[in-house]
Structure 1
Amino acid sequence: MKQYIFNIHDVVLLMTAAECLLLAVFQSILPTRARHDGRLLSAFLLIIAVASACTLILWNDQFSLAPWFEQTLLPYLLYSALLLKGPAIYLYVCSLTQRKLTLDRRLAIHLLPALLGLACIAVFGISSSDLRLATDTEQSLPTLAIEFIWDLASLVPFVYAAASLVQIRRYRIALKDEYSHYSEVELTWLSALAWGVFISWGWTMVVHVVAKFSSDIVADYMGIADNYLAFILINAFFAYSLTYAHQLLDTKPEEETHETVSEEAPSEPAITKVRHAMDVDKIYLKKNLNLEQFSERIDLPPKEVSGVINKHFGTNFFEFVNSYRVEAAKTLLADPEKADMTVLDVLLESGFNSKSAFHRFFSRLVGMSPTEYRKQALAAEASS
């Protein structure tokens, strides 16, 4: 018996599906996977497993399944997976870069592309045989519908991959706005994976376009390369999720990693030094101030400074410094002689180096925007 059911390219698809299933199970038992990101990664892996398995069944001629499954159910499973993998990866990235992502009804909007594709299959009664012959030249309505859902299955994941890159960029900007230094390792890994998804699904879209205008042989080889890219990508996702993903939501400024609080209460001389640096020396006016620079300025170890701020003042280093900056901004905003200063001038004069960080901290600590505070303060000064 020398007839082979699978060739090496089919084996790659089979391994991708099997590995995704195993990784999804593995993800579910990890202790850090109670969060949304763990569930979404498992969902993404299961979706890729379904897409790989359905692709294998659709294009492999050496074995067959029950006709009702292979001809009727398979198109629904395949297009559900192809049109849901984009939203899955996007929501996974959002769960890592947004601290309060909630899986509520609003996210159902991401199901619309999949529902549109499935509606086309149902309306036109598209079978697996129809999908394989989608490149026929006869431009009948069912053929146009098949081409449409193939176009949709190629374009939608690519768009979501691009949206994931935009989300990561926004998260990086937010970190820069709020912190002067932060750990880049986890974020760099996530960016690399998002770029990998973007390139892989971009290649899928190129393969789809080329298949319309080239020979079947060229399209087959490009499609095979696409399957290999997917296999490599899944392995990279597993390495990332196992090593770095659980740390991303805890990404904090590098300085805060030193803020381990000792059991002993801070000494009075240390408290006096910290208070003097803030109240008299106004060290908070220095932009991009970090814990090491602060500690060096007052000649105390970073650990001791961290203990003073945590134990005595009941906050962390960045909240402590920015609360002083907000008070300095309030003084400038309430001074009639400084009424010609712009809000940008005020935030820079107060020690902030980012407009968004200034507005975020000011609104949180004062309960109103800087502009509203200035209007009220100047009005109260005028009436008095």
Structure 2
Amino acid sequence: MKDYIFNIHDVVLLMTAAECLLLSIFQQVLPIRDRNYGRLLTAFLLIVAIASACTLILWNDQFEVAPLFGQVLLPYFLFGALMLKGPAFYLFVSALTQQNMRLQRRHAIHLLPALAVILYLFIFDLSSDDLRRISVAGQGFPARLVDLVWDLSTVVPLAYAVAAVLLLHRYRSELEDEYSHFSTTELDWLNILTYGVLISWGWTLMVHVLAKYTSVETADLLGIADNYVAFILINAFFAYSLSYAHQLLATQPQQSREPSEEEPSESAIDKVRHAMEVEKIYLKKNLNLEQFSSRIELPPKEVSAVINKHFGTNFFEYVNSYRVEAAKALLADPDKANMTVLDVLLESGFNSKSAFHRFFSRLVGMSPTEYRKQELAKHSQE
């Protein structure tokens, strides 16, 4: 009986595939939430599992599989998975950051890179030996044909990782257009993971390029490091989906939050100003654009147009600037000298100590405590 011998690096690939399968099953038994990012995470995990398993079979000669699968079908499974992991990751991030995001026909465009590569494999009838550059009976394909398919399998996922990073930058801007307060912890962790994927897939591309100019041993070592990073990222993404993903705030669909192209009317400007200066609506904690618009009976688009075009800022900055002014008045009032800074920030509409200190220091140029000392000292000299 023949024994299969795996080195530790093969075990990492095997563990990645097995863990992805187990995590995808576990993901399905979790309580169903409003957004479908869980299903997209499951798809991403299954795709990574297929890619890891096929990579192991392709490069490990000790795996004995049926020739039909090993030589003919394996390239289709491998490169189909490699080309789909980028779109799956991008759509996962999209579902995390967009309210009620659902897969639609327009999303089918993300299948095109995978279909193109599968068609390429079919037209040139590339086998596993061809992909490994093993000539059989003197029949080998030009290296450029094989290089192209490997090039695409590294460039396309990296392009989607870049798109995901840009999506998160846009998401932060959208949060500032819709919310007066939001926690940055969940978003920061998602940023770290997304940049981790970008670095990992960038490393894959670098390994692919360096393999053409370095020794086989060096290329193998670089590729092995890539496998370890992928294993760590899979665990990190699943942990994030359990701990933080459900806490992210969802933004409205793009068409409902884009400001009107028309210049805001004077009546709309007066309504917004009246709500802030007379009604002091900014004192409401966790105020968002939808609540603000409902309160003054204007469409969100029109409120956005007033804040963005007339006042030249976003909702987050606009509301919190009023809160800072309210806090300054409380801190400078000798009769309120016994109020703690925590009491001041809560009474001003803030609900986060870190956000209050960060925003106050940025707008005023000093901490709340320093500002209070300065203003009370002025009063004592009068």
The answer, yes or no, to whether TM exceeds 0.5 is yes
Shift of 1:224: 0.4
Give the aligned partner of residue 38 of structure 2: 38
**Aligned equivalents of 2:75, 2:160: Cα separation in 1:** 22
- Give 1:91-130 correspondences, 5 Å limit: 91-130=91-130
Cα deviation code 1:18-40 (max 9, x no counterpart): 00000000111111356321111
Give the aligned partner of residue 354 of structure 1: 314
**Aligned equivalents of 2:142, 2:308: Cα separation in 1:** 63
Give the aligned partner of residue 132 of structure 2: 132
Shift of 1:353: 3.1
**Aligned equivalents of 1:52, 1:198: Cα separation in 2:** 18
User: What code does the residue aligned with 1:347 have?
Assistant: H
3-state DSSP of counterpart to 2:212: helix
Shift of 1:212: 1.1
**Aligned equivalents of 2:65, 2:88: Cα separation in 1:** 29
Q: Residues 20 and 49 of structure 2 are in contact (CA less than 8 Å); yes or no, is this contact kept in structure 1?
A: yes
Alpha-carbon spacing, 1:43–1:37, altered in 2? closer, same or farther (3 Å): same
Q: Residues 96 and 248 of structure 1 are in contact (CA less than 8 Å); yes or no, is this contact kept in structure 2?
A: yes
Alpha-carbon spacing, 1:248–1:149, altered in 2? closer, same or farther (3 Å): same
Alpha-carbon spacing, 1:6–1:99, altered in 2? closer, same or farther (3 Å): same
Cα deviation code 1:111-146 (max 9, x no counterpart): 1111111111101111111111189xx9x8653221
Q: Residues 47 and 84 of structure 1 are in contact (CA less than 8 Å); yes or no, is this contact kept in structure 2?
A: yes
Overall identity of the aligned pairs, in %: 55
Give the aligned partner of residue 163 of structure 1: 163
Q: When the two structures are aligned, how many residues end up with a matched partner?
A: 294
Alpha-carbon spacing, 1:345–1:189, altered in 2? closer, same or farther (3 Å): closer
User: What code does the residue aligned with 2:185 have?
Assistant: V
**Aligned equivalents of 2:34, 2:291: Cα separation in 1:** 32
* In the alignment, structure 1 residue 71 sits paired with structure 2 residue 34: no
Structure 2 residue ranges without an equivalent (≥5) = 253-269, 299-304, 319-382
Give the aligned partner of residue 333 of structure 1: none
Give the aligned partner of residue 48 of structure 1: 48
- Pick aligned residue for 2:276 from 284, 288, 301: 284
Give the number of the structure with larger relative contact order, counting CA–CA contacts within 8 Å between residues 6 or more apart.
2
Q: Residues 284 and 324 of structure 1 are in contact (CA less than 8 Å); yes or no, is this contact kept in structure 2?
A: no
Q: Residues 175 and 251 of structure 2 are in contact (CA less than 8 Å); yes or no, is this contact kept in structure 1?
A: no
User: What code does the residue aligned with 2:119 have?
Assistant: A
User: What code does the residue aligned with 1:40 have?
Assistant: L
Q: Residues 193 and 236 of structure 1 are in contact (CA less than 8 Å); yes or no, is this contact kept in structure 2?
A: yes
Give the aligned partner of residue 382 of structure 1: none
Give the aligned partner of residue 327 of structure 2: none
Q: Residues 51 and 81 of structure 2 are in contact (CA less than 8 Å); yes or no, is this contact kept in structure 1?
A: yes
Q: Residues 83 and 153 of structure 2 are in contact (CA less than 8 Å); yes or no, is this contact kept in structure 1?
A: yes
Shift of 1:248: 1.7
Q: Residues 35 and 101 of structure 2 are in contact (CA less than 8 Å); yes or no, is this contact kept in structure 1?
A: no
Q: Residues 27 and 33 of structure 1 are in contact (CA less than 8 Å); yes or no, is this contact kept in structure 2?
A: no
Give the aligned partner of residue 200 of structure 2: 200
**Aligned equivalents of 1:35, 1:175: Cα separation in 2:** 17
TM-score of the superposition, structure 2-length normalised?
Answer: 0.68
3-state DSSP of counterpart to 2:64: coil
**Aligned equivalents of 1:107, 1:282: Cα separation in 2:** 43
Cα deviation code 1:298-337 (max 9, x no counterpart): xxxx7xxx9xxxxxxxxx665454456787xxxxxxxxxx
* In the alignment, structure 1 residue 149 sits paired with structure 2 residue 149: yes
Q: Residues 37 and 92 of structure 1 are in contact (CA less than 8 Å); yes or no, is this contact kept in structure 2?
A: yes
User: What code does the residue aligned with 1:89 have?
Assistant: F
Q: Residues 32 and 246 of structure 1 are in contact (CA less than 8 Å); yes or no, is this contact kept in structure 2?
A: no
Give the aligned partner of residue 212 of structure 1: 212
3-state DSSP of counterpart to 2:244: helix
Shift of 1:153: 0.1
3-state DSSP of counterpart to 2:167: helix
Alpha-carbon spacing, 1:51–1:326, altered in 2? closer, same or farther (3 Å): same
Structure 1 residue ranges without an equivalent (≥5) = 253-277, 296-301, 307-315, 328-341, 359-384
Shift of 1:101: 2.3
3-state DSSP of counterpart to 1:213: coil
Q: Residues 50 and 81 of structure 1 are in contact (CA less than 8 Å); yes or no, is this contact kept in structure 2?
A: yes
Give the aligned partner of residue 377 of structure 1: none
**Aligned equivalents of 1:324, 1:26: Cα separation in 2:** 43
**Aligned equivalents of 1:91, 1:165: Cα separation in 2:** 12
Q: Residues 90 and 164 of structure 2 are in contact (CA less than 8 Å); yes or no, is this contact kept in structure 1?
A: yes
**Aligned equivalents of 1:112, 1:93: Cα separation in 2:** 20
**Aligned equivalents of 2:101, 2:251: Cα separation in 1:** 16
Give the aligned partner of residue 60 of structure 1: 60
Give the aligned partner of residue 331 of structure 1: none
Give the aligned partner of residue 331 of structure 2: none
RMSD after superposition: 3.6
Give the aligned partner of residue 24 of structure 2: 24
